[in-house]
Amino acid sequence: MKNQHKAAYEYEIKYSRTSIWVEGALGLFFVFGSVALAIWLKEWWALFFSLIGAFMLWEAIGRGRQPGPQLKIGRQGIWTFEAGHHPWASVLVEVKTEKNSRSVITWLIIVKRTDPTQEIARLSTDHLDVDVRSLKAHLRRFASR
């Protein structure tokens, strides 16, 4: 793991096992369903959906292979699997919901305090084993110090 910080964190958040299983099951459904549909219709364009399923499976397996915490929050700062430890004095954290015509995604975004345009890390809260309300409460508790 990159830059693992030795101090204990009050909250350690992993990937949600439920989201991994659901995405894996949907991926398998798309893969096998599109193959069956292509054979039944005798139209090979239906195999396109197997690519979507394969991508979903790839993502689910990737998250499943990372059993440890993906996010740690505590008095000393915030830690992510990808970006390592950052003290609260050097970062700003925002939970932001982005909406478009097809989806709604809520992100945890960590930026440099000295340059808020420079993004350090971005995690989708949909895949984390914490609800957005609790995550915001944890962040308010420590980030505002």
Query: Which pLDDT does position 81 carry in this prediction?
Result: 92
Instruction: Give the pLDDT band of residue 80 (cuts 50, 70, 90).
Output: very high
For 105-133, the pLDDT digits (tens) are: 999 999 999 999 999 999 999 999 999 99
CB atoms near residue 5 (< 10 Å): 17
Say if CB 66 and CB 13 are below 8 A apart: no
Question: Which residues fall within 8 angstroms of residue 131, CB to CB, at 6 or more apart?
Answer: none
* pLDDT for position 1: 45
pLDDT in tens, 36-66: 999 998 888 888 999 999 999 999 999 999 8
pTM, two decimals, is 0.78
What is the mean predicted confidence (pLDDT) over 68-80?
94
User: Which of the residue ranges 78-82, 90-94, 98-102, 107-111 would you say has the lowest mean pLDDT?
Assistant: 98-102
- What is the structure's pLDDT at 144? 66
- At 7, the pLDDT band (50, 70, 90 cuts) reads low
pLDDT tier, 103 (very low <50, low <70, confident <90, very high otherwise): confident
Rounded Cα–Cα distance for residues 78 and 109 (Å): 11
**Residue 81: how many other CB atoms lie within 10 Å:** 19
Query: Would you state the pLDDT for residue 67?
Result: 84
Residue 143 reports pLDDT greater than 90: no
